[in-house]
């Protein structure tokens, strides 16, 4: 790929009719006319193969190897397309072919001419500097249901083979009453990607002088995506779906639908808007006063099914404005619960395996669990499920409703359990949940939820635990079973004060245990003149009976927090933090301290505080210092009281082992990008603070799977002799992938040469300078006979040309001084070197001979 030929063109305009330079208007050196014809060829494209981003109406759709075939015309190369590529990009070619009688249907195979022949109104914009082709297509010829970030599964990137490691380490030491205790901890999350299979394992390593080291193994599994089913297949150790049933750990296989594979406008519940228009009308849809959609519809019934409304609900107000200006309005209820799905959408999960719950002593039970949900229409989603073990079976049936007064979900579960040596337990559980968002009042109310179970009912986890409980020699009557539970959550934004109020509570009762458990909390937060404050109350109550006697335990905690910025409100401003708490058991605690950042970038942060225990009349001091590097996050803390001292240090981060070596990074998320920009040491990547290392690699620790991600590289900070050929890349990775994002660079030293023609005259302005051997363009002559050049070689000859005649060319021989090897690898290699060199005549046998590799 020739990087000197970046151009922008449009097939909607003749490529040969561009800008015309009048050389007579420029300063002319005597006997040396300025040749400006090479600047007049608008949109000239060098034929060849390019790995290029395909955009449709400005939205990225794919990265493809596209051939630019020579058309022997003024435009040069013409991009070639395949029908399947355009379909994956979201263009409805069948609709385009039926739009007008004169429009042909695009054939299969490769087509290397103007696409407007098959898609009326299409224009093409090519920018080889950014390596993009942008197809501007009338909206009518686009496939429905395509969101801006949706990417066709055929264009998902499954990434490269790589090894992954996340680590979180901590060394803790404490001295208390003359006794010293030291502990070390390392949490490890490991992975190996091989093709479309991703292996994962997690575990913890602990150490102490007394107990030595111990490794506790966590889960291990392999996973891959099934795009045709919009699902994930997992084999190994994991947990069952907890959406409808209790969750248990298992070793086996699991197949689950993955809503992340759907377009944005299908992932979350939103109702379909249906209505009727009398003319060509405009339909405007508002939610909580905000316009979220507006479109034009033809006369007759209309249906809008691709809304991207707020998933937490809020009724939709629809206004239909007819062509004569008359309008009508109606409301579509929109209240949601977690079970509601869009009409026609489905969600399922199926698990088969052996229960491996670490809380059970020796369970060898096997479990089968399956659930299915289906959006039936705007207002109803139905769901069913079943869970089976060797001694247990349950069947669930329910529905979620979208109503004018809120979102409801109601289900019934029938279960039976075979208890060893004790016969069979049967029971039923009823569950009701409710949620409602009141946009005008700022209230979000949810009743999550009320559940009532008969005495013989057991959930999946309790049934597995009961069998283990009884096999251990315990009595069935001693096993607690929940009778009913009520959860309430309310949040309120107060318009009068601008503050926020919340309240939440939970109450539980058990069948075979007298007494109940109750917890309640409420709080209020606000700001005043830049100062933040909050107040909270928490109340817990437990009642039990032992040997006929009633035991009641209760506790109430009050807390007040006040945060005051010291100085201007900037990112690194110091903040005064004050915290007061009081509870019935431990008394009153007061803490006051300051926190802030050391540098403007926020890499280093600190906190210093003094605490006072009013009941014990003891004072303690606390301090912490954290520092974040592109490759690791470091932390430290220190505390001291009257009879104790504590200190800790920690580090967390990640690393990737890939074909290019080992690269360190901040903590990695599920889906990762690996940037490769050779020689671009110090260049910034994305928004994570990562920078390209000496090997040319940097890590983007988090990408959104199955969606469009754009990753930019900021050249600021990299050496001056390195030039980014591409600064932005698009990708749509599958979940768990490590995608390689390559950013080609050109490493060339920049320098200036003052020179004259062999006859002593100034070199003509704008004369082209090329490498005498390869013909690659190196620069041009600027003002004052000074050449501005970039070269990848340290020595050679430069051909300066301002015409085809022997007297209109000359050669400059150059040799650049050696640069210190250490400084050449650092970002300090900056500045231009200036040389005074003669331009000698070109030998007669080479004068006027065009270089083979040169191109306009």
Could you tell me the CATH number of the domain that includes residue 828?
2.60.40.2070
Contacts 24+ apart (CB under 8 A), 811-818: 811/772, 811/839, 811/840, 811/841, 811/842, 812/753, 812/755, 812/787, 812/837, 812/838, 812/839, 812/840, 813/837, 813/840, 814/753, 816/749, 816/751, 816/791, 818/794
487 Cα distance to chain centroid = 33
Q: What does the pLDDT read at residue 269?
A: 67
Do the domain assignments include residue 677?
yes
Q: Give the number of C-alpha atoms closer than 13 A to the C-alpha of residue 791, restricted to the C-beta side.
A: 28
Q: How far apart are CA 634 and CA 627, in angstroms?
A: 5
Tokens read off for 678: 């050779």
For 486, the enclosing helix (H) or strand (E) is strand 482-493
| Same domain as 837, residue 761 | yes
Do the domain assignments include residue 386?
no
| Same domain as 569, residue 585 | yes
Query: What residue ranges of the chain have pLDDT lower than 50?
Result: 1-18, 29, 31, 545-549, 821-829, 850-856
Q: Domain count of the chain? A: 5
CA distances 834 to 200, 754, 793, 816, Å, are: 56, 8, 16, 10
Q: What does the pLDDT read at residue 831?
A: 58
| Same domain as 597, residue 621 | no
Contact in structure between 292 and 283 (CB atoms under 8 Å):
no
Q: How far apart are CA 650 and CA 636, in angstroms?
A: 6
| Same domain as 119, residue 10 | yes
| Same domain as 584, residue 654 | no
The residue among 289, 315, 332 that closes a domain is 332
Model confidence, pTM: 0.74
Could you tell me the CATH number of the domain that includes residue 741?
2.60.40.2610
| Same domain as 760, residue 636 | no
| Same domain as 45, residue 9 | yes
Q: What does the pLDDT read at residue 851?
A: 41
Q: pLDDT tens-digit profile of 477-535?
A: 777 788 888 888 788 777 767 788 888 888 888 887 766 778 888 888 898 877 888 88
Do the domain assignments include residue 430?
no
Q: pLDDT tens-digit profile of 362-402?
A: 567 889 999 999 989 878 999 999 999 888 999 999 999 88
Do the domain assignments include residue 552?
yes
Q: How far apart are CA 323 and CA 630, in angstroms?
A: 58
Could you tell me the CATH number of the domain that includes residue 95?
3.10.20.410
Tokens read off for 400: 């979620």
| DSSP of 49-85 | EEEEEEEETTEEEEEEEEEEEE-SSTTBEEE-EEHHH
| Same domain as 591, residue 499 | yes
| DSSP of 739-767 | EEEE--EEE-EEEEEE-B-TTSPBPPTT-
The residue among 312, 332, 352 that closes a domain is 332
Q: Which of 768, 766, 733 is nearest to 856 (CA)?
A: 768
| Same domain as 781, residue 705 | no
The residue among 123, 143, 163 that closes a domain is 143
Q: What does the pLDDT read at residue 23?
A: 55
Do the domain assignments include residue 319?
yes
Could you tell me the CATH number of the domain that includes residue 300?
2.60.40.3110
| Same domain as 731, residue 670 | yes
| Same domain as 7, residue 139 | yes
Q: Using alpha carbons only, how large is the chain's radius of gyration in Å?
A: 35
Q: 95 — phi, psi (to 5°)?
A: -65, -35
Q: Give the number of C-alpha atoms closer than 13 A to the C-alpha of residue 215, restricted to the C-beta side.
A: 7
| Same domain as 166, residue 135 | no
Do the domain assignments include residue 448?
no
Do the domain assignments include residue 813?
yes
Q: Residue 281 belongs to what domain range? A: 272-332
Do the domain assignments include residue 495?
yes
């Amino acid at each position: 790929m020739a990087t000197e030929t970046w151009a922008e063109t449009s097939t909607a305009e003749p490529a040969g009719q561009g800008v015309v330079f009048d050389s007579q208007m420029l300063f002319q050196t005597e006997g040396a006319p300025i040749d400006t014809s090479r600047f007049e060829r608008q949109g000239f494209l060098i034929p060849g193969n390019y790995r290029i981003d395909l955009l449709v109406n400005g939205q990225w759709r794919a990265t493809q190897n596209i051939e630019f075939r020579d058309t022997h015309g003024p435009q040069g190369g013409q991009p070639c397309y395949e029908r399947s590529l355009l379909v994956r990009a979201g263009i409805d070619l069948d609709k385009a072919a039926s739009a007008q009688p004169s429009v042909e249907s695009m054939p299969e195979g490769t087509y290397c001419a103007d696409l407007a022949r098959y898609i009326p109104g299409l224009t093409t914009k090519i920018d080889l500097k950014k390596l993009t082709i942008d197809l501007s297509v009338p909206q009518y010829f686009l496939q429905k249901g395509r969101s801006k970030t949706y990417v066709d599964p055929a264009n998902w990137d499954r990434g490269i083979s790589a090894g992954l490691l996340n680590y979180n380490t901590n060394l803790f030491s404490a001295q208390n009453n003359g006794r010293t205790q030291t502990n070390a901890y390392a949490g490890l999350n490991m992975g190996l990607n091989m093709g479309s299979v991703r292996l994962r394992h997690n575990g913890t390593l602990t150490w102490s002088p007394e107990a030595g080291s111990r490794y506790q193994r966590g889960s291990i599994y392999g996973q891959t995506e099934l795009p045709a089913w919009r699902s994930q297949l997992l084999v190994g150790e994991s947990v069952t779906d907890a959406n409808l049933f209790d969750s248990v750990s298992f070793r086996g296989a699991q197949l689950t639908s993955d809503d992340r594979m759907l377009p944005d406008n299908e992932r979350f519940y939103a109702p379909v808007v249906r209505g009727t228009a009398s003319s060509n009308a405009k339909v405007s849809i508002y939610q909580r006063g905000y316009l979220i959609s507006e479109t034009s519809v033809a006369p007759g019934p209309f249906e809008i099914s691709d809304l991207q409304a707020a998933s937490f609900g809020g009724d939709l107000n629809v206004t239909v404005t007819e062509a004569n200006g008359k309008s009508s309005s109606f409301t579509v209820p929109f209240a949601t619960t977690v079970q509601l799905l869009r009409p026609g959408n489905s969600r399922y999960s199926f698990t088969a395996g052996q229960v491996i719950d670490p809380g059970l002593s020796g369970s060898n039970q096997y479990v089968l669990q399956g659930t299915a949900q289906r959006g039936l229409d705007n207002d109803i989603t139905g769901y069913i499920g079943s869970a089976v073990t060797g001694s247990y079976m349950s069947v669930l049936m329910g529905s979620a409703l979208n109503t004018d007064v809120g979102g409801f979900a109601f289900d019934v579960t029938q279960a039976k359990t075979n208890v060893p040596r004790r016969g069979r337990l049967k029971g039923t559980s009823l569950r009701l949940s409710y949620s409602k968002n009141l946009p005008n009042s700022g209230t979000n109310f949810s009743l999550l939820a009320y559940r009532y179970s008969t005495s013989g009912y057991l959930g999946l986890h309790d049934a597995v635990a009961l069998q283990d409980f009884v096999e251990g020699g315990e009595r069935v009557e001693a096993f607690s079973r929940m009778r009913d539970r009520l959860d309430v959550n309310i949040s309120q934004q107060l318009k009068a004060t601008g503050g926020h109020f919340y309240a939440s509570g939970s109450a539980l009762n058990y069948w075979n245990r007298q007494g109940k458990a109750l917890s309640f909390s409420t709080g209020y937060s606000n700001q005043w003149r830049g100062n933040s404050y909050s107040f909270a109350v928490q109340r817990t109550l437990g009642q039990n009976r032992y040997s006929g006697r009633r035991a009641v335990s209760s506790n109430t905690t009050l807390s007040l927090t006040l945060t005051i910025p010291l100085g201007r409100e900037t990112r690194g401003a110091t903040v005064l933090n004050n915290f007061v708490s009081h509870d019935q058991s431990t008394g009153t605690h007061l803490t006051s301290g300051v926190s802030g950042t050391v540098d403007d970038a926020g890499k280093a942060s600190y906190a210093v505080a003094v605490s006072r225990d009013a009941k014990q009349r003891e004072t303690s001091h606390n301090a912490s210092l954290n520092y974040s590097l592109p490759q690791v996050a470091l932390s430290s803390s220190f505390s001291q009281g009257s009879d104790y001292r504590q200190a800790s240090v920690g580090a967390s981060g990640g690393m990737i082992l890939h074909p290019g070596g080992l690269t360190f990074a901040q903590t990695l998320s599920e889906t990762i990008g690996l940037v490769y920009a050779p020689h671009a040491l110090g260049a910034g990547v994305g928004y994570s603070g990562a920078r390209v290392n000496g090997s040319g690699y940097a890590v983007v620790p988090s990408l959104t799977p199955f969606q469009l991600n754009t990753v930019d590289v900021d050249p600021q900070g990299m050496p001056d002799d390195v030039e980014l050929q591409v600064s932005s890349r698009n990708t749509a990775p599958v979940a768990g992938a490590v995608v390689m994002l390559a950013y080609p660079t050109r490493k060339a030293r920049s320098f200036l040469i003052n020179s004259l023609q062999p006859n002593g005259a100034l070199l003509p302005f704008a004369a082209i300078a090329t490498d005498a051997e390869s013909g690659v363009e190196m620069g041009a002559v600027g003002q004052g006979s000074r050449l501005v050049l970039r070269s990848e070689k340290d020595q050679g000859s430069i051909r300066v040309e301002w015409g085809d005649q022997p007297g209109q060319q000359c050669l400059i021989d150059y040799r650049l001084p050696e640069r210190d090897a250490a400084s050449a690898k650092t970002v300090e290699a900056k500045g231009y070197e200036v040389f005074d060199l003669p331009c000698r005549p070109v030998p007669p046998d080479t004068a006027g001979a065009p270089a083979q590799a040169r191109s306009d």
